[in-house]
Amino acid sequence: MVPQVIKLCCQGCGADLEVSEEVRFLTCNYCHSKLEVVRDVTSTHTRVLEKLERATDQIVGNLKVIELQNDLERLDREWESTRQSLLIRGQNGGLYKPSILAAVIGGGAPIIGGIVFATFAGRHTMGWFPLIGIVFSCFGFINLATGLSKASAFQNKQAEYERLREQVVRLIERERGV
């Protein structure tokens, strides 16, 4: 007696399958899931025994990408709050990125102004008056030093953030197979 062909539906991908009725285990030609034919009282259907490993790998890969994207977002958030904490308040109340140029201008102006004042006052007046210029110059040097150290702290933190971000972006690209 020739075995009858029965129509089944793959539980893995939904494809229509035709198998002879004596078959119990099969592999779907479309999604390559390993299936078992289950015969109930009212129906015959398939049950997935083993999905294609590539599908599982892909899911793991996707999870890794999601995890890495979360890392990226966390990195961006952390940098944003670090950046905010490193900004300096300008005279008009605005916040500025500390830069070497700003430090040189902010420190250089009182240094030069102080020296000019001290020289001029020293020529024309006596006593402590020229000292005001010296004090002014000293403030300028302090300004210059703190300005430069803030600018370099900002640059270092930014470089560190960009390096880490680059690494995570590269990992995501690798995971996606770009």
Q: Other C-beta atoms within 10 Å of 29: how many?
A: 9
What is the footprint of Zn ion within residues 69-88 (CB under 5 A)? none
Distance between CA atoms of residues 52 and 22, nearest Å = 24
CB of 29 to Zn ion, least distance (A): 8
Return the range that interacts with Zn ion (CB under 5 A); candidates 2-10, 112-120, 124-132, 162-170. Answer: 2-10
Residue 10 sits in the site that holds Zn ion (CB under 5 A): yes
CB within 8 Å of 160: residues ≥ 6 apart: none
Residue 12 sits in the site that holds Zn ion (CB under 5 A): yes
Q: Could you tell me whether strands 25-27 and 34-39 are parallel, antiparallel, or unpaired per DSSP bridges?
A: antiparallel
Return the range that interacts with Zn ion (CB under 5 A); candidates 7-15, 49-57, 76-84, 133-141. Answer: 7-15
What is the footprint of Zn ion within residues 19-48 (CB under 5 A)? 28, 30-31, 33
Q: Are 55 and 33 in contact (CB under 8 A)?
A: no
Q: Write out the residues near Zn ion by the rule CB under 5 A.
A: 10, 12-13, 15, 28, 30-31, 33
